[in-house]
Amino acid sequence: MRDTIATVESFVITIPRDTPYLGALRPGEEANARGYFVRKGNRTVYPAFDRNVLVRLRTRHGVIGWGETYGIVAPRATMAIIDDLLADFVIGTDPFDATATHDRLYDLMRVRGYTGGYYLDALAAIDIALWDIAAQIAGRPLCKLLGGQRRETIPAYLSGLPKPSRPARAMMAAEWQAKGFNAFKFAAPVADDGVEREIETLRETLGPKARIACDMHWAQSAAGARMLIQQMEPHGLWFAEAPVNPEDLDGLAEVAASVSTPIAAGEEWRTAFDAQARLARRACAILQPEMGHKGVTEFMRIAGLAQVHHCEMIPHATIGIGIFLAASLHASAAAAAVTAHEFQHSIVVPNARYLDGAIACEGGEYSLPPGAGLGVRPSAAALAILEQ
């Protein structure tokens, strides 16, 4: 029986953290009255807590689907777009028309310059919820609606080593290596002694077979990035992520052409158009779409581009309660180009209490949440702290 969307609601969820994302604040990094601080290493603002926007869609027959996007700063901007604009254009639609609905919502604002940012974050959350409902109605895990399940598990790499010193970060990586993880990524903005010393210490600690990548957080010029990557290469660099400003497409291509390390990019993109602009320049070899910024529809489009351009896809995963991570895992199980997936242990593990349905990441492998749809939903602990 045909079912259609009846209600759209948005919420903000704020979760305190003992240690801010990427580790304790450095000298000169102080949270302001709203809890925001700027990482000196990349000049980017972060909150001292976790905060996301959730969307709840309900059908006329009572099926509930959840979506999630970023609420790192100004979450109510995203919520206003959902509540004031998108909701009325989603109500009455068939959840099985998720891709068509996505494109229709995208078209609403494209001529006004809203081809990125908060507008597409809002759209991503709705898109995830529509796909969740469609898969629940079909009675199948979401990956089965995305072209089929290619893999039972997804290799995970451990991302972020939020400790205050280089030896402590290496020790943390070694603890996870003992649990079966053998792929790691460190963050250049908090590599206090420089990226070369950081990878040297990690290599000494983790041994020759460990994969070690560096997230350069968009902070370098093309020439500066090339120099740093060449310094790290003798220590065995798996990939170099986000070496230059996101706006510097030619610089990204220049770096990719001048080093032997694969260049990775994509967490900040919103659409397949963003991916295509880089792929046309052969500016990256590894695509890192973030489900929370793109939604299922755009994520799978980027996956298709990765496949036809013979690139790897290693999706990004960061701050959230796990709704968009579950969607990312389902899409990753269905996408041919996926070879690994980021695992933000310092977020997924403590925030697991806010999720019903398990996201398991053990022995270096993710497994999909079982059940129909996404297989996850906010727990009672999460519902208790949602704010409208």
Q: Which of residues 70-109 bind Mg ion (CB under 5 A)?
A: none
User: Two tokens at 189?
Assistant: 């903005």
Work out the angle at residue 239's Cα, subtended by the Cα atoms of residues 263 and 167, and round it to the nearest 5 degrees.
Answer: 140
Nearer to Mg ion, 68 or 215 (CB): 215
* Alpha carbon distance 234, 259 (integer Å): 12
* Alpha carbon distance 180, 54 (integer Å): 32
Using the rule CB under 5 A, give the single segment among 13-21, 35-43, 213-221, 248-256 that binds Mg ion: 213-221
Sorted by sequence, the CB contacts under 8 Å of residue 78 that are 6+ apart come out as 10, 53, 69, 70, 71, 118, 121, 122, 125
Q: Please state the closest distance from residue 46 (CB atom) to Mg ion, in A.
A: 12
Q: Which of residues 179-208 bind Mg ion (CB under 5 A)?
A: none
Q: Please state the closest distance from residue 267 (CB atom) to Mg ion, in A.
A: 5
Nearer to Mg ion, 224 or 357 (CB): 224
DSSP 8-state symbol, 242: -
User: Two tokens at 323?
Assistant: 């709704």
Nearer to Mg ion, 215 or 248 (CB): 215
Nearer to Mg ion, 232 or 374 (CB): 232
Burial class of residue 67 in the structure, from the number of CB atoms within 10 Å of its CB (0-12 exposed, 13-18 middle, 19+ buried): buried
Task: Supply the Cα-derived Rg of the chain in whole angstroms.
Answer: 20
Using the rule CB under 5 A, give the single segment among 115-123, 132-140, 210-218, 295-303 that binds Mg ion: 210-218
Q: Nearest residue by C-beta to Mg ion?
A: 215
Q: Please state the closest distance from residue 382 (CB atom) to Mg ion, in A.
A: 25
Judged by CB under 5 A, which of 50, 121, 127, 215 binds Mg ion? 215
Count of residues engaged in binding Mg ion, rule: CB under 5 A: 1
Work out the angle at residue 128's Cα, subtended by the Cα atoms of residues 99 and 96, and round it to the nearest 5 degrees.
Answer: 40
Nearer to Mg ion, 114 or 157 (CB): 157
Using the rule CB under 5 A, give the single segment among 86-94, 212-220, 272-280, 306-314 that binds Mg ion: 212-220
Q: Please state the closest distance from residue 380 (CB atom) to Mg ion, in A.
A: 32
Residue 275, amino acid? A
Outline where the chain has alpha helix (H). 75-80, 87-90, 98-109, 117-138, 166-177, 195-206, 222-232, 249-258, 272-279, 291-308, 323-334, 345-351, 380-383
Nearer to Mg ion, 59 or 328 (CB): 328
Q: Please state the closest distance from residue 231 (CB atom) to Mg ion, in A.
A: 20
Nearer to Mg ion, 129 or 319 (CB): 319
Is residue 202 helix, strand or coil? helix
Q: Establish if 290 lies at the interface with Mg ion (CB under 5 A).
A: no
* Alpha carbon distance 57, 83 (integer Å): 12
Within 13 Å of residue 125, how many CA atoms lie on the same side as its CB? 31
Outline where 189-322 has alpha helix (H). 195-206, 222-232, 249-258, 272-279, 291-308
Nearer to Mg ion, 127 or 215 (CB): 215
Nearer to Mg ion, 81 or 285 (CB): 285
Q: Please state the closest distance from residue 113 (CB atom) to Mg ion, in A.
A: 25
Q: Are 321 and 378 in contact (CB under 8 A)?
A: yes
Q: Please state the closest distance from residue 218 (CB atom) to Mg ion, in A.
A: 8
Q: Please state the closest distance from residue 316 (CB atom) to Mg ion, in A.
A: 6
Q: Please state the closest distance from residue 322 (CB atom) to Mg ion, in A.
A: 19
Give contact residues for Mg ion (rule: CB under 5 A).
215
